[in-house]
Amino acid sequence: MTAPWTRGEVLPVLLVGALALQDAAFNPVDIPVGVAVVLAVANVLPLLWRRRRPVLAPVAVGALVLLRAALDAIPAQTTSTLPLLVVALFATAVHSPRLRDAAAAGAFCAVATVAGIALGSDEPANPADFVVVSVLLGAAWLVGVLVRRRTALTGQLRERGRAAERARDEEAQAAVAEERVRIARELHDVLAHSVSIISVQAGAAERQAPKDPERARAAVAQVRRTAEEVQGDLVRLLDVLRHPGADTLAPQPGLPELEDLVAQAREAGLPVTLRLDRSLAPEVPEGVALAAFRIVQEGLTNVRRHAGDVPTDVRVTAQGAGLRVEVVNLPGVSGGRGSGLGLVGMDERVRVHGGDLRTGPDATGRWVVDAVLPLETT
C-alpha cells in the first residue's frame, strides 16, 4: 500500500502550481487558456512523486516544459518554470538511490527547461539570464547533495545508536542471566547440603522414636541445629541480593572449613574420612578454595541422597600446579534420581577456573567425583 503524501511533498507543489496557474491564466499565450492551464498543472504534477520516483520526476518535468514551449503554452515572462526546476533538481539530488542517475536526470531537466524558456521567449536570449539560471540550478543541486549526505550520516549515526542500544540490552540480559545462574548455584550449594542432613536426621528420628528416644532426640537436635544454620545462610543470601556487594563483607568458606563440613556429615551418620593437605591453604586463591569447598559439599550431599550412609573418602591434595579434589564412596542404595543441578553447578565452577571434572564409577564400582583446579597466580 502506497504511503500518503506528506506535507513536505504537497506544499512545494501547491506553491509552484499556483505560480504556474498564474502564468497560464494571466499571461497571453498562443493557445486557449484552458489548455495552457491543463498543461501547467500537468507540468507540476510529477513533483508529487519526486520522493518515490526521484529520477523519473525531473525527466517528466523537463519533457513537459519542452512540450509547453513547443505548443506556445509558456509565456514570455514566466515565474513558475525556474522554481519548478529548482524543486525537481533538489529532490532528485536528495532522494535518488544513485547519485549518477540523479545527475543525468537533473542535467536533462535543466537543459530541457532552459531550452524551453529560450524557445518560449520572443526576445533574443540574454547570456546573463542563463548564467543566473545556471547558478540557481547549481545551488539547488549542491544543497540537495549536501542534504543527501547529511541525511545518510544521520541515518548511520542513528543506526549505530540503535546497535549500541541493542548491544547494551544484550549485555544487560546476559548479565542478568549470569547473575540468576550464580544465585541459583549458590542457593543450591548452600541449601542442598543442609536440607539433605535435615531429611536424613528427620527420617532417623522417626524410625528411632519408638525404640530409642535418646537417639531420636539427638537426631531432632541435629535437625534443629541444621535448620538454624540454613536460616542463617538464607538471611546472608537475601542480604546479598538486597545489597549488592554485601557478600564481600563476609568470608566465604574455603579449605579450613572442610573439617567442619565433614564433621557435620559424620554427625548426620555418614562414615566419611578427610585427607586434607593443610599446607595448601595459604597458597590457594579464595575463588579456588570456595570452588573446592562447594565441590566437596555437593559430593557429600549426593552420597547421602543417592547411596545412603556408605563409607566415603574426601581427599584435597596438591597435583602439580593445581588442586585436586576427590570424593569417593562405595556403592549403596540409590536414593532416586536428582535434578542434575548439582553436577551442573560443579562443572560450571570447575570450568570457570579452567579445570577438569570427572564424575562416574571407577573400575571397582565406586562412585568418583574428581576435579582438578589450576592454582591461579597473581
The CA angle 339-344-347, to the nearest 5 degrees, is 155
Which structural domains are found in the chain, ordered by start?
A: 7-125 (no CATH), 254-378 (3.30.565.10)
* DSSP string covering 8-25: HHHHHHHHHHHHHHHHHH
| Higher local confidence (pLDDT), 47 or 310 | 310
Higher pLDDT, 357 or 253: 357
> Per-residue pLDDT tens for 211-270?
777 777 777 777 777 777 677 767 766 666 666 555 444 557 888 889 988 988 888 788
Say which residue, 362 or 342, is predicted with more confidence.
Answer: 362
The SS3 call for residue 372 is: strand
- Identify which has the larger pLDDT, 220 or 25: 220
pLDDT attached to residue 13:
74
Greater confidence (3 vs 49) lies with 49
Model pLDDT for residues 110-123, shown as the tens digit of each residue:
777 667 666 655 56
Q: Which among 322, 318, 255, 252 has a CA at the least distance from the CA of 289? A: 255
pLDDT higher for 375 or 272? 272
pLDDT at 335 over 50: no
Instruction: Find residue 313's DSSP bridge partners.
Output: 273, 328
Residue 317 pLDDT exceeds 80: yes
DSSP assignment of 318-361, as one string? EETTEEEEEEEE----------SHHHHHHHHHHHHTT-EEEEEE
Higher pLDDT, 139 or 109: 139
pLDDT of residue 334: 45
pLDDT at 277: 85
Q: In 3D, which of 58, 16, 7 has the Cα closest to residue 40?
A: 16
**Higher-scoring residue by pLDDT: 307, 36:** 307
pLDDT tens digits, 254-282: 888 899 889 888 887 889 999 998 788 77
